[in-house]
Amino acid sequence: MAGARVLPPVTELNRAYWTGGRDGRLLIQRCATCARWAHPPRAECAVCGGALAPQPVSGDATVYSFTVNHHRFNPSVPVPYVVALVELVEQEGLRLPTNIVGCEPAEVRIGMAVHVAFEDHGAVWVPVFLPVGG
């Protein structure tokens, strides 16, 4: 069961990202013209100006950077928790801000292999990442 969290505003642009987890899919925008992936969601491809559409990715990633938050910014969100930037295996530089869950914060390492999971918050399914084979 998902813990408390501050949920993101869902827009037309980011709706696929925040709701794909309902079907177990991490949906990232991909350019129909040059096949580059793009995140965060935007109106058109930054490389060629082509149209972007959400496509499923594998959910495999590595930890690019992270920090352990010990400060209780929101009284309903328990601390400590890991705020990380993970890089998806599909493309160099394709990085998502997320949380690493399923392990102690002290166990998280840069370069660690992780895989997506989803926290069900009703209208929003928040992509989080767990260690692989830990």
Using CB under 5 A, list all residues that contact Zn ion: 31, 33-34, 36, 45, 47-48, 50
What is the radius of gyration, based on Cα positions, of the chain?
Answer: 15
| 3-state SS, residue 18 | helix
Rounded to the nearest whole angstrom, what is the least distance from the CB of residue 129 to Zn ion in the complex?
26
Cβ contacts of 49-56, under 8 Å, gap ≥ 24: 53/29, 54/16, 54/17, 54/20, 54/27, 54/28, 54/29, 54/30, 55/27, 55/28, 55/29, 55/30, 56/20, 56/25, 56/26, 56/27, 56/28
In the complex with Zn ion, the residue whose CB is nearer, 51 or 79, is 51
In the complex with Zn ion, the residue whose CB is nearer, 11 or 33, is 33
Rounded to the nearest whole angstrom, what is the least distance from the CB of residue 30 to Zn ion in the complex?
9
Rounded to the nearest whole angstrom, what is the least distance from the CB of residue 29 to Zn ion in the complex?
10
In the complex with Zn ion, the residue whose CB is nearer, 45 or 96, is 45
Rounded to the nearest whole angstrom, what is the least distance from the CB of residue 54 to Zn ion in the complex?
15
In the complex with Zn ion, the residue whose CB is nearer, 4 or 34, is 34
